[in-house]
Copies of this chain bind each other. A is one copy, B any other.
Amino acid sequence: MRELSKYVSMMYRYGQIFYDETLHPYEIGCGQQFFLLRIHEQPGISQYGLAEKGYFDKGTTARAVKKLEELGYITRKIDEQDHRITRLYVTEKGEPIISIIRTMLDDWHNALMDGFSEEEKEMANSLLKRLGENASKTIGRR
């Protein structure tokens, strides 16, 4: 089954398009949603932590965070103890975007799972998780 790769690609690329469309009114793109959500869930998280969480390159993380800050959705505070670390927090302006993103992710999730039985949904969720973990295990942190 050499098509797996193709379906993953479709899910990913179409997801990006969906996110871009949804987030367009808020001036952010598909590349920022993950980070904004994580900062909200874990206030004070560092960029390093964000990169780890999402298995992203730290350069990618840096740029996403930069854009979110420029738009005023988050703020950075340099850690008192360790001056290398910048701690990230969602601002008041960013707060309402969180639920937009959550709804968006749920909508996309539901669109993908359309026609799935409850068992199939659970199965898909758990298999996807294992597939993602295997991918990470194979390529690993850099």
Interface residues of A (CB under 8 A from B): 1-15, 17-18, 34, 37, 54-55, 102, 105-106, 108-109, 111-116, 120, 123-125, 127-139
Chain B minimum-CB-distance residue to A19: B5
Q: With a CB–CB cut-off of 8 A, which chain B residues contact A105?
A: 2, 5
Bound CA span A2–B109, Å? 7
Chain B minimum-CB-distance residue to A121: B1
Q: Give, as a whole number of angstroms, the nearest-CB distance from A5 to chain B.
A: 6
Is B14 touching A135 in the complex (CB atoms < 8 A)? Answer: yes
Cross-chain contact of A14 among B4, B111, B139 (Cβ < 8 A): B139
Bound CA span A52–B132, Å? 27
> A115-B130, A127-B120, A132-B11 given as contacts; is B109 within 8 A of A4 (CB)?
yes
Is A6 touching B132 in the complex (CB atoms < 8 A)? Answer: yes
Is A10 touching B132 in the complex (CB atoms < 8 A)? Answer: yes
Q: Give, as a whole number of angstroms, the nearest-CB distance from A7 to chain B.
A: 3
Q: With a CB–CB cut-off of 8 A, which chain B residues contact A109?
A: 1-2, 4-5
User: 7 new A-B pairs (CB below 8 Å) besides A10-B135, A13-B55?
Assistant: A4-B112, A5-B105, A8-B12, A8-B15, A9-B54, A112-B138, A115-B130
